[in-house]
Chain A
Amino acid sequence: DVKVTQSSRYLVKRTGEKVFLECVQDMDHENMFWYRQDPGLGLRLIYFSYDVKMKEKGDIPEGYSVSREKKERFSLILESASTNQTSMYLCASSSPRDREGDEQYFGPGTRLTVT
Chain B
Amino acid sequence: GESVGLHLPTLSVQEGDNSIINCAYSNSASDYFIWYKQESGKGPQFIIDIRSNMDKRQGQRVTVLLNKTVKHLSLQIAATQPGDSAVYFCAENKRNQGGKLIFGQGTELSVKP
- Complex Cα spacing A106 to B41, Å: 12
- Complex Cα spacing A12 to B95, Å: 36
Whether B101 lies near A31 (C-beta < 8 A) is: no
Of B12-20, B43-51, B59-67, B69-77, the segment with at least 4 beta carbons within 8 Å of chain A is B43-51
Of A14-22, A42-50, A63-71, A72-80, the segment with at least 4 beta carbons within 8 Å of chain B is A42-50
B21 to chain A, nearest CB (A): 14
- Complex Cα spacing A79 to B89, Å: 30
Contacts of B44 on A, CB cut-off 8 Å? 43, 90, 106
Whether A103 lies near B43 (C-beta < 8 A) is: no
Mark each residue of chain B from 75 to 113: 1 if its CB lies under 8 Å from any CB of chain A, else 0: 000000000000001000101001111011110000000
Count of A residues near B, CB < 8 Å? 27
Whether B43 lies near A42 (C-beta < 8 A) is: no
- Complex Cα spacing A58 to B98, Å: 12
A101 to chain B, nearest CB (A): 7
Contacts of A40 on B, CB cut-off 8 Å? 105
Whether A109 lies near B43 (C-beta < 8 A) is: yes
8 Å CB interface, A31-68 against B: 31, 33, 40-45, 48, 50, 56, 58
Contacts of A4 on B, CB cut-off 8 Å? 43
Whether A103 lies near B98 (C-beta < 8 A) is: no
* Closest residue on chain B to residue A4 by CB atoms: B43
Contacts of B41 on A, CB cut-off 8 Å? 108-109
Binding site for A on B (CB under 8 A): 32, 34, 36, 41-46, 49, 89, 93, 95, 98-101, 103-106
Binding site for B on A (CB under 8 A): 4, 31, 33, 40-45, 48, 50, 56, 58, 90, 92, 94, 96, 100-109
Q: 27 A-B residue contacts at CB 8 Å?
A: A4-B43, A31-B99, A33-B100, A40-B105, A41-B105, A42-B105, A43-B44, A43-B101, A45-B100, A45-B101, A50-B98, A58-B100, A90-B44, A92-B43, A96-B99, A100-B32, A100-B49, A101-B95, A102-B95, A102-B99, A102-B101, A103-B34, A103-B46, A104-B99, A104-B101, A105-B46, A108-B43
